[in-house]
Amino acid sequence: LLRRAADALAAMGVGEPAFRVFERLQALSARKAAAMDGPLPPAFLRVLTAGSSNAETFVEQGRKAAAEFHRLACDWGRPLSPRDRVLEFGCGCGRVARWWLDLCPARFDGCDVQGRLIDWCAQNLRGEYRLTLLDPPLPYEAASFDLIYALSVFTHMREPGAVAWLAEMARVLKPGGLALLTFQDDRLPAAAALQPGLSETGFAVRRRGAEGRNLLAGYFTAEGFAARAGPGLELLHVTPSDASAQGQAVAVFRRRAGV
């Protein structure tokens, strides 16, 4: 029902302001969270990050996502040591990072375009957190990272943004480094309404909204996502959305050397 309401409001051109009100209302009506391990971000930050204020889901989805990213990193890469460097691109208020940090000893950086989310991470989680801009470049040197992961960030971009950010992932990855990036694929039920355009072009937008905010919902085919990655990234593997623990497809790219 909420998804249909968001679709209808977006079609009427008032999607973004209505969605902001909806996000605030969700946070205000949040149930009190049960006591849990580790610091829990306030309800509004959980809404901005996860699209819901539910604390238990926030914790559980983050745990599953971190475990899946870690497994993919081990399967397609090499074990990471404290000398290696990992970036979470679009880290929100640390839904995944809070678990990732226990799984991987590498040095950790997180970045996001929303200052209040970055501030919460910096005050509550281990790692370096930076507020970044909606457009590239990131404030990191070329070839800085051994691994980058991003959950539900390319999901909220238009096509030019996705192309530019995929190129930026390639720039900041070391040769041989991995990028684990989720995207909404054509196996998700909501993608049916976007056919045949989605299959023809490899990308379609379902709900229009501000770039980088959760109302905007983009979908790719696996081939379409890979095609927009450019020559610097080689696609090694895609876990489709219906086989992923994250509810979105996960693409595993490797940074090509010398490109």
Q: Does 5 contact ligand SAM by CB under 6 A?
A: no
Q: What is the torsional sign of CA 227, 195, 249, 26? A: positive
* Residue nearer to ligand SAM on the CB measure, 132 or 241: 132
What count of other Cβ atoms lies within 10 Å of the Cβ of residue 124? 16
Q: Does 244 contact ligand SAM by CB under 6 A?
A: no
Size of the site for ligand SAM (CB under 6 A): 21
Would you put residue 57 in left (φ > 0), alpha (ψ -120 to 50) or beta? alpha
For ligand SAM, the binding residue among 86, 104, 111, 252 (CB under 6 A) is 111
For ligand SAM, the binding residue among 132, 221, 239, 241 (CB under 6 A) is 132
Restricting to residues 26-65, which ones interact with ligand SAM according to CB under 6 A?
49-50
Closest CA to 194 of 221, 213, 215: 221
Contact at 8 Å (CB) between 220 and 163? no
Q: Does 87 contact ligand SAM by CB under 6 A?
A: no
Contact at 8 Å (CB) between 62 and 98? yes
Among 22-30, 73-81, 85-93, 185-193, the segment contacting ligand SAM (CB under 6 A): 85-93
Closest CA to 128 of 165, 151, 97, 152: 97
For ligand SAM, the binding residue among 156, 206, 228, 254 (CB under 6 A) is 156
Q: Does 112 contact ligand SAM by CB under 6 A?
A: yes
Contacts of 180 (CB under 8 A, 6+ apart): 69, 72, 73, 147, 148, 149, 150, 250, 251, 252, 253
Six-digit token string for 155 = 């999901």
The DSSP secondary-structure symbol of 241 reads G
* Residue nearer to ligand SAM on the CB measure, 93 or 223: 93
Restricting to residues 209-238, which ones interact with ligand SAM according to CB under 6 A?
212, 214
Residue 175 C-beta: closest distance to ligand SAM, Å: 23
* Residue nearer to ligand SAM on the CB measure, 136 or 199: 136
- The footprint of ligand SAM (CB under 6 A) covers 49-50, 89-92, 95-96, 111-114, 117, 132, 134, 151-153, 156, 212, 214
